[in-house]
Amino acid sequence: MRCGKALSLAAALALASCSLFSVPKTPMTPPVLDPDLVQRGAILFADPRLSGDGQRTCAGCHPGGGSDYRIYRDGYPVPPFTLGGRRTLTLRGMWQTAPYLWDDSAQTVAGAVDRMLAVEMNGGSLAGRDREALEAYLLSLTPFDRGRIQPDGNVVEPSTLAARRGSAVFARVCAECHVPPAFMQPRPADVGTGEWAVPTLRGVSVSGPYGHDGRWPDLETVTRSMADHQEAHLDADEMAQLLAYLQLL
């Protein structure tokens, strides 16, 4: 009995400790937004007057709210694997992918907009109702969705046997960091290249090159690198199955 009480106390202390340092949960439902603000924000998203030089737009690097898949340093394009370079992250599904930027330094959409205006938009500015409108538009962007994956990460039938088996491989190797339904986690991780944000895998098959600096040119290369870092020891069939699953995200 004394042992049971000791274990109960230990469990309670562990739970209390976890609550103090708990990671924010990924939202499951999008926010309710003012449609007039969203419409105004969509116009501003493509307006070069937001930029410091009057030549850049948010849509230029984020067509449709997604990504141009290019690498930038201090707001200017550079080749993949350039020191200090950062690959453009998608903005789709921003309402459930906080924190933002490759270093997770922007905890809110407002913080991400501050950084975007200062660096990528070359000292641009936006305030008042227009600022609210742009932020509302960003929060309205829907996640990339092929309609082939359920919110819990299981495949939508009919599907191939390879993809179904790949779902099990994903759950074993990848899902700890890339948690459905957003397929990301709100804290950085080290994959052998330093501590970086864990981006969403939604649309991953069309979003290369990969990594914070674009060092991995294609999906198979980055997947093998991640698996090796995890010491997952995937055989050829398991790798093919995992890739088949990733194609559905």
Domain boundaries, the chain: 35-140, 161-246
Question: 152-155: long-range contacts (C-beta < 8 A, 24 or more apart)?
Answer: 152/180, 152/181, 153/180, 153/181, 153/183, 155/245, 155/248
Q: Decide if 35-140 and 161-246 have a common fold.
A: yes
In order along its 249 residues, the chain shows pLDDT tens digits of 333 433 343 333 333 333 334 456 778 899 999 999 999 999 999 999 999 999 999 999 999 999 999 999 999 999 999 999 999 999 999 999 999 999 999 999 999 999 999 999 999 999 999 999 999 999 999 999 999 999 999 999 999 999 999 999 999 999 999 999 999 999 999 999 999 999 999 999 999 999 999 999 999 999 999 999 999 999 999 999 999 999 999
CATH architecture for residues 161-246 = Orthogonal Bundle (1.10)
User: Residue 106: beta bridge partners?
Assistant: 100
pTM: 0.88
Apex 116 CA angle, 111 and 120, nearest 5: 160
Helix (H, G, I), strand (E, B) or coil at 187: strand
Token pair belonging to 57: 């737009």
Helix (H, G, I), strand (E, B) or coil at 24: coil
CATH architecture for residues 35-140 = Orthogonal Bundle (1.10)
